[in-house]
Structure 1
């Protein structure tokens, strides 16, 4: 053993006793600073967790993939970590770990903590330096205000590989940093949410089958290129949310599955290990080392890449042991229940760790059941998330809009029901990628009837969504009425914007974003019943609903009225609480949005006619399939 390596191992090992304590306790949040490949003066330090291996070496372009050239040494502290220093290795070199298990299993594995990977279908890790000169200091200093729960959240959900294409090629991170950033800024969205950018071997998984939990996919550029994209978004005042998948991982032989000849990262029992929905493996949350791995991954994207939040995918599949399983196909917990106690403990620890270390961020749960207190603090027994996707609102609303308007009067309860639970959690209203794939149809093709009614219904849906309590998320293409379902192999159909109807939908979304940001009544009390008041939800025969939104001061009042039929309503009386001029802010049937221009009065004055239990009322013309916003100035 070279003298330099002996000195390094004895005196300069990157792993301390405290690291090992935290690792084995399941609370290490910064393992990416210790494990993996780290360039140092004179070479690269490697460390990998493989407790059931009897031999581990580093193979790569620096040693001609010689399995005997650079063996690693097993630490004597019982951690199961192998480490060593390779003098010939440099930044940019390809590498893997060659592992021989105690049972004789042999495999070359990509680095679980690799910062960069070859472009798929190649699978080697790349030694990389993550140095980058950030220019988003102003955003980082003030982002706690932009990311606060009482701030506007207008999220544009994006799959980076298919937002726009150059021929058949996806845009690079650097190209997206110009075109996508400019588009989001021009449209007025406050945040962008990226489908998983973490390295994944199968492009068709959209990033949800992750093999590189510490690496942005190399399909679009280097780690620094992705940093540049986030940096540019921040410089334009746009927050960045990253989809993150701690619920399952693919079974690819080069990655985490059966890593050291045992089920190391995944559960050993097949009834807990295998995920029937995705043909993948489930992380073993009972192992403290696995919990430390996942905690560190989430921490990594918020710390190293300056992300403003993570959206945790498929939380329900983590919470329930019987998720998508038949009787006899799952193992109850120690109390005989179906709750995964280990996953619950991990989720709470995750949120505590992230909010402690990054107070300006938010975590968002995709949780599709009625699990209680998802967005309540852990000290109250909650899971500790900042927000939760409102899947119930999405399903009920799309079900309602799919109906022929003549039948909607029989389903008005679907619209009213969401307000019974709207403030039980901190909800995000979502029209996401999941709703425009697998034969479900695009948003506009979910709308019934003829071409004109499809556009009118889409504009009505968007206007209704933006008025409803909760933060907002819209998947790319929905903002201009993409006809085709989303296809990850194609770019969006931007040519549709040559048509005035599609431009009209896009302009409506742009104006809705602006109106929300300018009016605290539409965001400040999204999660409180104090910010919402029904005027009327009982007019089922005419399929009209109306309600008020209010800000914390009570001086910013918004009236929203929606006509869900293709029949205009004339002299439609609405009860209001204040006398004066109610100024029209949005009419989704306006000519500029591709509508008919019906009901385009600028303002209406109250009459001293009590109605709907209010002392005053106004008479409106409600256009066909349209939503109207009004506001009143209060002293």
Structure 2
């Protein structure tokens, strides 16, 4: 059992972990054992670059070399239109450890034996039965128009896209735009990589985001899975374009200094047999557990066996592939809660405290895989960022591996959007519990960074609503035009939408995330084409035309979003340490806090405005208005003079050394900067 080198640092951060040192050290010892196994397999660099060897690769002399791990197979053969689907003409040769190789010499004219664009599959024979399968390492998977079955297309164009722009440095403050290529057009269609690059990325840059989190890139046969039922881990989804088109997108982001994250799914895999990884070698095991551990009953998917050295080779190489081949700058790991518990978090309330995190329900195999992945990524690529989708609050998930943590940089603050939706669904404005709101926003592990968000794709899906739609609902159809009266519902909706977003961004974490379209209050819900809606794309789109129409009030929310980002970029409050909340008043519905040299003040009261309201501040000086949700440009009522300074008074208040007197209109968010 190995002791992490910096365990004492972790124990100083969280004294509750003293009682669980033994388990932390045990996990770290298992992590060390796996590093030794990887070293025995040629070392980490060779191990993680296996994508250069496995699959099919054209050599400098135009010969083609192929390698597959298919331990249970009796026979492997390469078939396709290049050999008229002859199952006998191009067999693989079986080697040691379940590995199969094939070598194809060039044609007489010197060109590769398999032309670019050829349709290919691998005939896998196990127990006398042969199935046509796709290589686990396939990089381009397409679907014939006449069938729903996907196949591998041999991708070897004469010219490949070459990246022109350097990767940006990791931002100190991450302002993340969560994007989905397919739904990014106002038109009812599947949008393309190039259209996203040319039309949407400039919008993202103009709004002040410095990072894009790109969803649904790893190939998934079922579009409505939102990219979370991955069939082909090394293939960029062909429904949006070619691999070179995706490179163009990433390069376009880098040209504008935008850091780009990939939503990576290593928590489970699609159960599809014909076009997925499932039963690749003809058995239910292979990359997955062959028993009940290999099946996720709720997600109806397959679960990886992280103790298999070839599974580790596959997944770690997959991470390196997306960084080196496409230039991604980091990853958001999906489904981490499901990974790290044997129960997959199903029916768990996570109220058991620390014994729950270190008891029998915790899955050592998954936790150690995440340690290995983060250890490798952060050592190989120092500017990389990893984010965990994790709801249980596993301690040390976002602490370095050498402290005994899992090594993530951030985790999603997943309780925050659930809180807002619950409030909007069940609580009248007069009954909002200000203390509870602030508690949820601040309730995160000390020393671990969190990505705050008011809503993400989960809240946009059919069956739920965006915050804008919860606030304004059907009135958005008739009263979002400036040519119509400002109704009480629209007035309230615009005001609270701005306040909720700023309060979450200001208090909820060390990074900020917005889902595509929510920056301007996208109406309605998100629903992918399916049998239940007659394969309609009507809701599988983002209506940027609404914010582009100057006559509509969506522009006000869009401007507010840009202004929040601009002020954060100027002051860096997200990476300046935690806020100090000096005031929470239930009756007045007022919240005030200081962070990053700024004073944030919120009045959630639906009717009461407060003249000469006393707010405590630590530093003396003149406080000038830096951001005002009530300003005319944001669709407000212009109840404050923007250039008025507020001189502090050297009298202590609310545990602060000074005080200022402010006019705080109802349903208004204000930010002041000291000069």
What TM-score do the two structures reach when normalised by structure 2?
Answer: 0.82
CA contact (8 A) 2:173 2:510 kept: no
Rate the CA distance shift 1:308–1:462 in 2: closer, same or farther, 3 A: same
Other-structure match for 2:392: 369
Secondary structure of 2:269's counterpart equals coil
Matched, 1:91 2:110: no
Other-structure match for 2:485: none
**Which shifted more, 232-241 or 127-136?**
127-136
Q: 1:236 aligns with which of 256, 266, 272?
A: 256
Q: Offset at 1:414?
A: 2.9
Q: 1:56 aligns with which of 63, 76, 82?
A: 76
Residues 582-629 of structure 1 show CA distances to partners (whole Å, capped at 9, x for unaligned) of: 010111121111111123442322234432233332111212212110
> What is the alpha-carbon distance in structure 2 between the residues aligned to residue 263 and residue 27 of structure 1?
28
Rate the CA distance shift 1:119–1:269 in 2: closer, same or farther, 3 A: closer
CA RMSD, 1 decimal? 2.4
Q: Offset at 1:64?
A: 0.9
Matched, 1:566 2:638: no
CA contact (8 A) 1:26 1:292 kept: no
Q: 1:212 aligns with which of 226, 232, 240?
A: 232
Rate the CA distance shift 1:238–1:52 in 2: closer, same or farther, 3 A: same
Q: Offset at 1:479?
A: 0.6
> What is the alpha-carbon distance in structure 1 between the residues aligned to residue 151 and residue 574 of structure 2?
46
Secondary structure of 2:408's counterpart equals coil
Residues 464-613 of structure 1 correspond to what in structure 2 (within 5 A)? 464-468=503-507, 469-488=509-528, 489=537, 490-497=540-547, 498=549, 499-520=551-572, 522-525=573-576, 528-529=577-578, 532-537=579-584, 539-550=585-596, 557-567=597-607, 568-602=609-643, 603-613=645-655
CA contact (8 A) 2:67 2:99 kept: no
Residues 541-570 of structure 1 show CA distances to partners (whole Å, capped at 9, x for unaligned) of: 1111111013xxxxxx10001111212222
Secondary structure of 1:523's counterpart equals helix
Secondary structure of 1:37's counterpart equals strand
Other-structure match for 1:330: none
Matched, 1:421 2:444: yes
CA contact (8 A) 1:588 1:595 kept: yes
Other-structure match for 2:199: 179
Other-structure match for 1:134: 163
Residues 376-406 of structure 1 show CA distances to partners (whole Å, capped at 9, x for unaligned) of: 0111110111111111233234434553111
Rate the CA distance shift 1:159–1:608 in 2: closer, same or farther, 3 A: same
Other-structure match for 2:9: none
Q: Offset at 1:496?
A: 2.6
CA contact (8 A) 2:72 2:98 kept: no
Residues 146-225 of structure 1 correspond to what in structure 2 (within 5 A)? 147-148=170-171, 151-165=172-186, 167-225=187-245
Q: 1:318 aligns with which of 319, 336, 339?
A: 339
Rate the CA distance shift 1:420–1:184 in 2: closer, same or farther, 3 A: closer
> What is the alpha-carbon distance in structure 1 between the residues aligned to residue 646 and residue 252 of structure 2?
43
CA contact (8 A) 2:391 2:414 kept: yes
What TM-score do the two structures reach when normalised by structure 1?
Answer: 0.87
Rate the CA distance shift 1:511–1:592 in 2: closer, same or farther, 3 A: same
Q: Offset at 1:266?
A: 4.7
Q: Offset at 1:129?
A: 3.7
CA contact (8 A) 2:70 2:98 kept: no
CA contact (8 A) 1:412 1:543 kept: no
Other-structure match for 1:22: 41
Q: Offset at 1:230?
A: 0.4
Other-structure match for 1:124: 151
Secondary structure of 2:234's counterpart equals strand
Q: Offset at 1:412?
A: 2.5
Other-structure match for 2:360: 337
Aligned pairs, number = 586
Rate the CA distance shift 1:570–1:399 in 2: closer, same or farther, 3 A: farther
Other-structure match for 1:358: 381
Other-structure match for 1:38: 57
Q: Offset at 1:228?
A: 0.6
Rate the CA distance shift 1:24–1:586 in 2: closer, same or farther, 3 A: closer
